[in-house]
Amino acid sequence: MSVAPLLSAAKEHIRAGQIAEARQLLHEAASLDEGNAEALLVLAAISPPDDSLLYARRALNFDPDNAVAQEAVRWAERRLEGDRLALEIPASPAVTRHAGARPVSPQRTLAAKPPPLVAAPLPATPSRTAPPATSAPLPAIPKTSRFSVLGLIG
């Protein structure tokens, strides 16, 4: 089997939100042609950050002059760095406190309970009216995704 139909079918699955099926087809395409940068780059786009970087680097190793592969590596590195920053925990509560504030132990912060929520009473008469019915279609919302970031899937 050729790689082109596998790539085409994988992209259709991605557009339909069927990522697992797309991943299976892309792995099959990559096994048929190990140096197929497009299969590797689409895999990079649909994978978690750490795997994404591996696929992007592999594509770049097979084709060092590929501008999309170069951008994919930078993109995957930024994703991975963003995940790492999100997981970082300050070494000391003193690092995050404001000037003049007394230090608070992490245990005390975690044990503190927020105040209970109290709902405001509803007005006796509704002040809002329903929006007028209209048959005009809603404007399209532009799609921005990690797939379009690399320009691999339209």
Beta-strand ranges (E) seen in 60-112 are none
Mean pLDDT calculated for residue range 27-34 = 93
**Which H or E element spans position 89?**
none
Number of domains in the chain: 1
DSSP state of 124: S
pLDDT digits over 110-123, tens only? 555 555 555 555 55
Would you state the pLDDT for residue 80?
Answer: 85
In a domain, 154, yes or no: no
In a domain, 134, yes or no: no
Would you state the pLDDT for residue 140?
Answer: 45
In a domain, 61, yes or no: yes
In a domain, 34, yes or no: yes
In a domain, 99, yes or no: no
User: What rounded mean pLDDT belongs to the chain?
Assistant: 73
Q: Which of these, 44, 32, 40, 28, lies nearest to 80 by C-alpha position?
A: 44
Model confidence band, residue 81 (pLDDT cutoffs 50, 70, 90):
confident
Its domain, for residue 65, covers 3-88
In a domain, 110, yes or no: no
Model confidence band, residue 72 (pLDDT cutoffs 50, 70, 90):
very high
Q: Packing angle between helix 19-32 and helix 3-15, nearest 10 degrees?
A: 160
b/e map 63-86, b = 16+ CB within 10 Å = beeeebbebbbebbeebbeeeeee
Instruction: Kindly report the CATH number assigned to the domain that includes residue 42.
Output: 1.25.40.10
Distances (CA, A) of 88 to 79, 91, 121, 154: 15, 9, 41, 35
In a domain, 55, yes or no: yes
Would you state the pLDDT for residue 31?
Answer: 93
In a domain, 122, yes or no: no
pLDDT at 99 over 60: no
